[in-house]
Every structure is written in C-alpha cells, then in structure tokens.
Amino acid sequence: MAISVKQVEQVAYLARLELTEQEKQIFTQQLTAILEYADKLNELDTEQVEPLHHILPIYNVMREDVVQPGPPREETLSNAPLVEDGQFKVPRII
Amino acid sequence: MDREYEIVVGLEVHVELKTATKIFCSCSTAFGAEPNTQVCPVCSGFPGALPVLNRQAVEYAIRTGLALNCEIAEVCKFDRKNYFYPDLPNAYQISQYDQPICKNGYLDINVDGKHSRIGIIRAHLEEDAGKLVHQGSITTTTYSLVNLNRCGVPLLEIVSQPDMRSGAEARAYLEKLRSICLFAGVSDCKMEEGSLRCDANVSVRPKGSSKLGTRVEIKNLNSFRSLERAIEYEARRQIEALEDGEELVQETRTWDEEKQVTRSMRSKEEAHDYRYFPDPDLPPLRIDREWVERVRASMPEMPDQAQQRLINTYGLSDYDANWLTSTPQTLEFFDETVKHYPDAKAVSNWMMGDFSRLLNQNNMEIADSKVTPQYLAEMLRLIEKGTISGKMAKTIFEEMFFTGKSPEEIIKEKGMQQISDQETLQKIIDEVVAGNPKVVEDYKNGKEKAFGFLVGQVMKATRGQANPALVNEILKERLMRE
Ligand SMILES: [Zn+2]
C-alpha cells in the first residue's frame, strides 16, 4: 500500500510536527515500506480469526474504589514552565 | 410553515459516575477542592504512569445499562482518542470506541399524554478532561489556567437514537434519564456542577421523509430549559434557512443563554481525526454474566415502576405520578407522608404546590428543607379537622419549611388557632350584621357580592382566624332570619 506525501503532511499536522520537504519525501518512502511489509499479513486467510487487541492473555485488572492521597500540589506543578494560583498557566486557546 | 417540517433530535449525555475515586487512579473525585490537589502521576499524564480500572465505575456502568434496558457487553475494551488540548495532559482521552459496555437500550417518555419510546444506541465509559479557565474576556484573554482535579473522573456517555421530535421531548428524555440515574444511584446528576452534561444533534426534514437532514450539534446546554429552547430556536433557524433556499452546513453551534440564540463555533470541514486505537495499558474486560445478574438483583424500584405504583395504588394522574418520581427523595417524602396521612391527592397537591414553589424560590433540594413528612401529615390532619384554614396552613408550611418546627408549635407561637366554636362565631356574625344594615339590605335584594363583603368583615374581626366554611354556613342562616 503506497502512502502519499499529502497523507504524511496530514499525519504530521495531527501530531503537530513541522517537516521539511526533504523529510516529507523520506517519511513517505519509509512509511510506504512499513505498510507494504505489514501488507504481507493479507496473504493469510484471517477470516476465522478474531482481531487481537492485546498481546497478553490478561483480563479484568481492576482496583477497589478507595481514595489514596496523591503527591503535594507543589510536586504536581514542579515541572510546569509557568504556574499561577496553583494552576498550570498555558497560552490562550481559541 | 412549521407544519411542513419535522424536527429530529438525538442527545449525547455525559453522566458523571459517583465513585469516590477517578476511573484509572485513586485520586478523590470530591467536588470543589482547591485546584490541582486531587491529582497524581496517572491523571496528570506523567510518562510511565499506568492506569488501573476502578471496579466501581464498571459496576455503575452496568447498573445504568440495566436501568436503560441495554445489553451489557460480554467483552469490551478501552481505546485512546487522540487530540491536543491543554486540559488533556496525556494528549489522548481514554474512552471506548467500537466496544461500548452497554448498547441497544431505550427509555420511555410521556409529553402531554403522548407516550414515546426513545432508543439508546450505546453507553460507554470514559475519563473526563481537566478544567480550563480563560483569564479575562474571551476576546482579550492572553492566557488560561489549567486545573486537573476533574481529569480522570469517570463518565458514562449515553447516546440516544435520533428519536425525539421536539424540544419538549428532548427535555422529557433528559429529565427521565436523570431520574433513572438518580434512582439507580449512579450519579448526582447536577447540571450546575457539571455531573450531567448534554449536547443535542438537531436537524429538520420535510414531514414524511425518512432521510435525515443536515445535522447541527449544539453545545453549552446548561439547564433543561436551555436544552428545550435551544432546540426550538435551532429548528426554526434551519427551517427558515431552507425556506430561503439556503444550504445548511454540518457544524457545531453554541447556545447563547443571554441572547437566546445558537451561534456557529466551527464547521466540520476540519473534520476531527481522533485516530482511535486500543489502549495497550488496559487489558480488556470480560464481564461475567454472574456479575450482571448480581447487579440486576440489587436494582431498586425504578421511576417507571414507581409511577405505575402511584397510579394503581392512589389513583394519581400521570402528571402527578411523573412529578413525584422525579427524584428518589421526592418519592420517599411522598411515600413517608402518605403513611401518616393517607389522602394521597392532598399530599401530592401540597408537594407539587407550596413545597415545590419554596424549593424553587430558594434553589433548594428536598433534603435541604427542614420540613418532615410527619409534620406535613400532621398539618394536613389539622386542616381536615378544621383547626386551621387552608390559608393558615400556607403560613405554617412556610415556617415548617425553614425552621423544622411542628405545626402545633407554630400554631401556639403565632396564636393561629382557627375559630370553629359555633357560639363565638355566632356572636361576631350578629355584630357584623347589626353594624352593616345597608349591605344586608343589598344582599336581600339579590346582590351576591354583599355576602362576600360580610364574610370579609367577619374574617377581619377574627384576624382571619374564623373557620371560613362555618362562617359561610352560620352567616347564610343568620341572613335568612333577617
Ligand atoms: Zn490521579
């Protein structure tokens, strides 16, 4: 399955990545190669096979509904570049 | 013009489940805490932190699904919905894409005697985002502040079929959904605190057509009333546009409460591409049928059953029964009062009248008021015995509502005893008749109004405490002898 430059641009936009023209060319080739490799799976008959969502045979990992205190607020905010009134300060959106 | 078109409405409702902790971490979900004090590495998106599913959130989802007549999935999984926004520290929201925990349900509504069954496509579990507060006005804001306390609070998103045909039906659906969630005990459903949120998809089409028209999504619906009004406004706007030969665009609009209009937010051209994929950190769920049956067995009486009971047991109207089953507290108050005073219609009238008016005026819930079912019953008995008049009862009820005092105590304090003593009333009436010969004359000449005036004089003389029925009786008799 070939992938177009336009699709690479779209994926880059969704991931908020800025790509040079050269990078777009490289990633178009590389992604096409990856998808073609994965296409090999289509040679198999998977009609009777359920899609696999997780590779481990584990189900129902749950915890009880009991509150545990989290870290102090200073710790939560310690990696934030900007803080105001105990909150993360971010550029205006809209 | 409206008659040629049909309104088509579907609702997406987010219900906040009332677990003690968040859906994937052990942070508290308590409302109103200081910003960012109920946050941990999982819900603030620290790299490497791993989510673990809250069993109670799953149980609440099953409970809601059963209450909405849904099928509960045997297997379901969680997926990541990817997008960037400052209130979403992971840059993805954990949700359920193609395997919702509940699907194919319904609920029944009744609008002015018209019964309709509204289909429910699905209900799925997901996590809430944080809260973003813009500083200053929306046009001059330079930055925003992010509070992650709400991030990771469990939500159940309930998606209806486009089965509603008016704003009133949509409102009835949301009210019914709320009462079902309240009775099932899965959510507080407080619109003002955001634990019940609603978006509406609205389109119009020529009557008789089965094709859906261009759909508009309305956001920012903060009350039952704004939901109803926004839908009516939006349908009118769409019909007018079509009549003018305009083409409608699929878009998201917001409800402007102040101006009572919908305004365009963004069109769907930059269609979202959320790139859902299964969350590798969360193993799938296999929901044991035994678990489902255990939940089913623990379900309390639901609003529909309760309504039927009130209609069958007490002969109440659909409308009364519907009102009394709007919240479990309302029903409990009614049931409890009727135990002490079996005239259900009188109880229901007082609850829907003065009680509900006082609650609305003071923006209170039944639990906030001080009046007890026992005292309401006692007051109704005093009216029946003629100890107090209906008018006095209004004053007494209001006093009970705010102070929690008993009717007896209030009557004593205010000296409100109704005068039902024949002799006393006879004496006062004699005086009134003697003092108003002209009015008595008028009455005898057929002037009906004159009678009312004389009653008024008696009430005045007794500071409103005379038993009105008795006054009428004695006065009539007295005037015949005149
Ligand atoms: Zn947390």
Q: pLDDT tens, B236-258?
A: 999 999 999 999 999 999 999 89
Task: Indicate the burial class of B256 (C-beta count within 10 angstroms; 0-12, 13-18, 19 or more).
Answer: middle
Query: Is the distance from CB of B106 to CB of B119 less than 8 angstroms?
Result: yes
- E-only strand ranges, B225-352: 251-256, 261-267, 277-278, 285-286
Average pLDDT, integer, range A24-43:
93
Residue of B36, B97, B99 to mutate, interface with A, max A Cβ within 10 Å: B36
Average pLDDT over residues B10-20: 98
**Above 90 in pLDDT, residue A81?**
yes
pLDDT (average), residues B279-293: 96
Q: What is the fold, at CATH topology level, of the domain defined by B422-480?
A: Arc Repressor Mutant, subunit A (1.10.10)
* Helix A21-39, helix A5-14: angle, nearest 10: 100
- Residues of A in Cβ contact (< 8 Å) with B22: none
Predicted local distance difference test score (pLDDT) of residue B137: 72
Residue B36's CB is within 10 A of a number of other CB atoms, namely 25
- Which is more confident, B136 or B125? B125
pLDDT of B308 over the 50 cut? yes
On the question of pLDDT at B28 being above 80, the answer is: yes
How does residue B71 score in pLDDT terms, banded at 50, 70 and 90?
very high
Torsion sign, CA atoms B67, B12, B197, B330: negative
Higher-pLDDT residue of A83, B208:
A83
Give me ligand 1 centre to Cα B94, in Å: 14
**Are B27 and A61 in contact (CB < 8 Å)?**
no
- Residue B216 sits at the vertex; the CA angle it makes with B132 and B65, to the nearest 5 degrees, is 75
B94: tokens are 């954990």
- For B:22-61, CB contacts with A below 8 A are 25-28, 34-41, 44, 52-58
Residues B202 and B166: their CA atoms lie apart, in Å, by 10
* Cα B379 to Cα B391: distance, rounded to the nearest angstrom: 12
User: pLDDT value at position B1?
Assistant: 46
Structural domains in chain A, sorted by start: 5-43 (1.10.20)
pLDDT value for B6: 95
Identity of the residue in B36, B54, B56 whose CB atom sits nearest the CB atom of A77: B36
- This prediction's pTM: 0.86
Two structure tokens written together for B363: 């923006």
Minimum distance, in Å, between the CA of residue B141 and any CA atom of chain A:
7
CA dihedral B170→B175→B177→B179, nearest 10 degrees, is -170
Please give the pLDDT value at position A20: 97
Q: Pick B34's closest partner by Cβ from A63, A65, A86.
A: A86
Which residues on A lie below 8 Å from B144 (Cβ)?
A: 89-93
Touching B: A residues 23-82, CB under 8 Å? 53-54, 56, 58-68, 70-71, 73, 76-77
Distance B151 CA to ligand 1 centre (A): 8
**pLDDT above 90 (res B98):** yes
Q: Please state, in angstroms and rounded to a whole number, the distance separating the CA atoms of residues B455 and B103.
A: 65
Provide the shortest C-alpha distance from residue B404 to chain A (in Å).
36
8 Å CB contact between A89 and A80: yes
Q: Which residue has the tokens 């009130």?
A: B310
Residues of A in contact with B82 (CB under 8 A): 14
**Residue of B37, B77, B142 lying closest to A73 (CB–CB):** B37
What is the value of ipTM here, to two decimals?
0.91
Please list the residue range(s) of chain B that carry CATH number 1.10.10.410. Answer: 422-480
In B, which residues are within 8 Å of A73 by CB distance? 34, 36-37, 39
Higher pLDDT residue, B193 or B187?
B187
What residues of A are in contact with residue B98 (Cβ under 8 Å)?
none
For A91, which residue in chain B has the nearest alpha carbon?
B143
Distance (Å) from the C-alpha of residue B63 to the closest C-alpha of chain A?
16
pLDDT at B424: 85
Q: What is the pLDDT of residues B225-235, one digit of tens each?
A: 999 999 999 99
